[in-house]
Chain A
Amino acid sequence: MRLNKVVITGLGAVSPFGTGMDALMHGLISGRSGVRAMEELSEIAGLRPRIGGKTPECDAASIPRKFRRSMSAMSIFAVLAANEAVAQAGLEPKEIRSAGTGLSVSSTIGSTNALQAFFSNFLDGMSIEGIRSTEFFKIMNHSCAANLTQYFGITGRVMAPSAACSTGAQAIGLAAEAIAMGRQEIMICGGADELHPLTVGTFDIIEAASTGHNDDPQSAPRPFDAGRDGIVCSDGAGMVVLESLESAQRRGAVILAELAGFASTSDPSNMASPSSDAIKACMNAALKDAKAGPEEVDYVNAHATGTVLGDAAESRAIGELFGDATPVSSLKGHLGHTMAASGALELAATVRMMRDEILVPTRNLEVISPDCKGIEHILKLQDKAITFALKNSFALGGINTSIALRRI
């Protein structure tokens, strides 16, 4: 049951293209790649990938030390992205600190870089001497949420839902439900992650990481392409401001889109291999939540990471639900897979595409794989008015999410 319409009034990004939504959109529209060679990965025994989409240096010093001292990179990314989203929404400090404003943000895991620092010291003589007071605040699972809460002075509901690569989308969807149910008026929400070799190694171990493009980093990942060979890990943060339609109208905020529907469903068939039936069920559930039919959807922003099994399953599900005329693209060919940030970053970019009436193609998609055919792949930048878009995010553990966006 929805009591309130939920709208998006602010977007913020820190991505492999740098800080800000404009940097993100410029990179996407100009067809650039955020993937680079990462020499440091070559120092790790057994690790095959040598490429990643690491976010360039950002303005961490703009965050006062009092707040920054407990932040790892992911929280810094999330603060900078949230600052942008909050500024666009025109939220005043008093509104942010009111009980009506909540926060929903998370990452796949607490800071692995901080964990590594802790255990390097701990295992070297089984000692905790010399460990700083704020180290655990970087490691705890709700590190991003806790840090943003302190930074912004949030007094309403704070949630840190963690579901691997669905984290950002799930955090946004659950935030939307809090508003729809009348529990909060405004939610600052999204996802963030920081790159660590553990993430790259995880996908390498399960044979889901790209290993064949180390000499030409920007040619990977290759969503839907016949030559795709897996994920390229990246980092960053995507943040959005959601609020009830009534709140946005009362404040005179510019409404960027309606978050019309959300579904979070699970796929118990396999920990790592997605089923197209479960993906279809998730997209269907999001449309049902939005009280919309498949025929209304004029763009699908796919999860498509560039894995052999995942892209094929998502293509099949999209084809079965929407047929072969609904445009589909994945932004991971530009960005790599920004993990917990991906759902939020790609949703923010989708909202901008709706505003700017353009469709960004799937970078590195040159030869459509036979098992990804039957859907309308976008191969070139297109001018197109999008009224209704669907954003997919799927995760290890079988956690699927879809978010429906309507232009109003």
Chain B
Amino acid sequence: MTDVEILELTNKVLAEEFELSPNQMKPEASFREDLELDSLDAVDMVVVLEQTFKIKIKKDEAFKSIRTLGDLHAFILAKKEEMGD
């Protein structure tokens, strides 16, 4: 999977899970303020991303510092790279 495909898939699964529209999926979008997601949604985001990309996120400290969709994109790409994908 290319980096672009990974980012597109990330946006797709988040949009489905949280009922977001494509025009909301901008890298600078803040999860809390712009996308109005809360701590329960963060838990579900981990579940969805772990299932989608077959990665482990739950106890990753770096995940806790994610604030924007762009932060998440960078995190997922780093994770996939780390896993040798």
* Interface residues, chain A, with chain B CB atoms under 8 Å away: 65-66, 69, 129-134
Bound CA–CA A131/B36 (angstroms): 21
Bound CA–CA A65/B50 (angstroms): 22
B1 adjacent to chain A (CB < 8 Å):
no
Q: How far is the CB of B60 from chain A (nearest CB, A)?
A: 15
Contacts of B38 in A (CB 8 A): 66
Bound CA–CA A66/B37 (angstroms): 8
Those 5 A-B pairs whose CB atoms lie nearest each other, nearest first: A133-B43, A133-B40, A65-B19, A132-B44, A133-B44
Bound CA–CA A133/B43 (angstroms): 6
Bound CA–CA A134/B36 (angstroms): 16
Contacts of A65 in B (CB 8 A): 18-19
Contacts of B36 in A (CB 8 A): 66
The range of chain B's interface size is 10 to 19
Bound CA–CA A69/B48 (angstroms): 15
Q: Are A130 and B51 in contact (CB under 8 A)?
A: yes
Q: Are B18 and A130 in contact (CB under 8 A)?
A: no
Q: Which residue of B lies closest to A132 (CB)?
A: B44
Chain A, interface SS category:
loop
Bound CA–CA A132/B41 (angstroms): 9
Contacts of A134 in B (CB 8 A): 40, 44
Contacts of A131 in B (CB 8 A): 47
List B27-66 residues whose CB lies under 8 Å from chain A: 36, 38, 40-41, 43-44, 47, 50-51
Bound CA–CA A66/B18 (angstroms): 9
- Of residues A66, A69, A129, A133, which shows the largest number of chain B Cβ atoms within 10 Å of its Cβ? A133
Given A65-B18, A65-B19, CB of A130 within 8 Å of CB of B47: yes
* Interface residues, chain B, with chain A CB atoms under 8 Å away: 18-19, 36, 38, 40-41, 43-44, 47, 50-51
Bound CA–CA A134/B19 (angstroms): 16
Bound CA–CA A346/B42 (angstroms): 42
Q: How far is the CB of A195 from chain B (nearest CB, A)?
A: 26
Bound CA–CA A133/B17 (angstroms): 12
Known: A69-B40, A134-B40. 7 other contacts (CB 8 A): A66-B36, A130-B50, A130-B51, A131-B47, A132-B43, A133-B44, A134-B44
Interchain residue pairs with CB less than 8 A apart (6): A65-B18, A66-B38, A130-B47, A130-B50, A130-B51, A133-B40
Q: Which residue of A lies closest to B37 (CB)?
A: A66
Bound CA–CA A130/B43 (angstroms): 10
Q: Which residue of B lies closest to A135 (CB)?
A: B44
Contacts of B50 in A (CB 8 A): 129-130
Q: Which residue of A lies closest to B36 (CB)?
A: A66
Bound CA–CA A291/B47 (angstroms): 58
Q: How far is the CB of A337 from chain B (nearest CB, A)?
A: 34
Q: Which residue of B lies closest to A134 (CB)?
A: B40
Q: Which residue of A lies closest to B42 (CB)?
A: A133
Bound CA–CA A273/B19 (angstroms): 48
Bound CA–CA A15/B47 (angstroms): 35
Q: How far is the CB of B76 from chain A (nearest CB, A)?
A: 18
Contacts of A69 in B (CB 8 A): 40
Q: How far is the CB of B44 from chain A (nearest CB, A)?
A: 5
Contacts of B18 in A (CB 8 A): 65
Q: Which residue of B lies closest to A130 (CB)?
A: B47
Contacts of B44 in A (CB 8 A): 132-134
Bound CA–CA A129/B44 (angstroms): 11
Contacts of B51 in A (CB 8 A): 130
Q: How far is the CB of A174 from chain B (nearest CB, A)?
A: 30
Q: Which residue of A lies closest to B39 (CB)?
A: A133
Q: How far is the CB of B49 from chain A (nearest CB, A)?
A: 12
Bound CA–CA A131/B58 (angstroms): 13
Q: Which residue of B lies closest to A131 (CB)?
A: B47
Bound CA–CA A134/B17 (angstroms): 13
Bound CA–CA A131/B43 (angstroms): 10
Contacts of A130 in B (CB 8 A): 47, 50-51
Contacts of A132 in B (CB 8 A): 43-44, 47
Bound CA–CA A69/B47 (angstroms): 15
Bound CA–CA A130/B47 (angstroms): 5
Bound CA–CA A65/B43 (angstroms): 16
Q: How far is the CB of A208 from chain B (nearest CB, A)?
A: 40
Contacts of B47 in A (CB 8 A): 130-133
Bound CA–CA A211/B50 (angstroms): 46
Bound CA–CA A395/B64 (angstroms): 49
